[in-house]
Amino acid sequence: MMIKAIPIKKLLLACHLLLACCFCFAQDIPKTIPPFNMLLADGVTYHNADKIEKGKPLMIVYFDPECQHCQAFTKQIIKNISTLNSVQIVMICSVPGLPPLKKFVDAFSLGKYPNIKAGTEGMYQTTLKFYNVDTTPFVALYDKDQKLITFHRSVPEISTLVKEFGGR
């Protein structure tokens, strides 16, 4: 059996096409805050991008109330809340009903932290699409001027987040 040699030019062309496809599908996330609108666990109050305070850093967490990694990350946020007091924390999910969100908010007593807002976008999934979220939790950090610092597609350490915020 004879193996046919592939000419170098064809091999290089194939490599270039493969790289071009990779760059086409590699997506960078926008540098701005997503235009979210979420219903809080009380079922009455809305919180949206227009209500984000200017002049304060922001952490957006896209989560699933039933995700164990999201729950563990939330425990870490609460445990280290004193180091995150100056950070606005917006936790967004897209569960269609309020019971899972309410259970999550109550389980972590999120209502007692004035810098944390947790809500659902319902079936609109604006934030999910904005960031192209494929796993939870997804975490995006913004500086006081609402410019993207960085994002995490896996669970970050709180100490890493504090450093990324500049040690605030």
What pLDDT does residue 2 have? 56
Whether the CB-CB separation of 130 and 48 falls below 8 Å is answered with no
Q: Which residue has the tokens 């007692």?
A: 112
Domains in the chain: boundaries: 29-164
137: pLDDT strictly greater than 60: yes
Tens-place pLDDT, residues 76-125: 999 999 999 999 999 999 998 899 999 999 999 999 999 999 999 999 99
Multiple choice CATH, 29-164, 1.20.1740.10, 3.90.25.10, 3.40.50.2300, 3.40.30.10? 3.40.30.10
Whether the CB-CB separation of 137 and 62 falls below 8 Å is answered with yes
Sign of the four-CA dihedral 30, 168, 91, 137: positive
4: pLDDT strictly greater than 90: no
Sheet of 58-62, strand order: 46-48, 37-40, 116-120, 88-93, 58-62, 138-142, 148-152
Highest mean pLDDT among 6-10, 19-23, 28-32, 129-133 belongs to 129-133
Q: Which DSSP symbol is given to 147?
A: -
pTM equals: 0.83
Q: What is the mean pLDDT of residues 144-157?
A: 96
Tens-place pLDDT, residues 22-73: 333 345 789 999 999 999 999 999 999 999 999 999 999 999 999 999 999 9
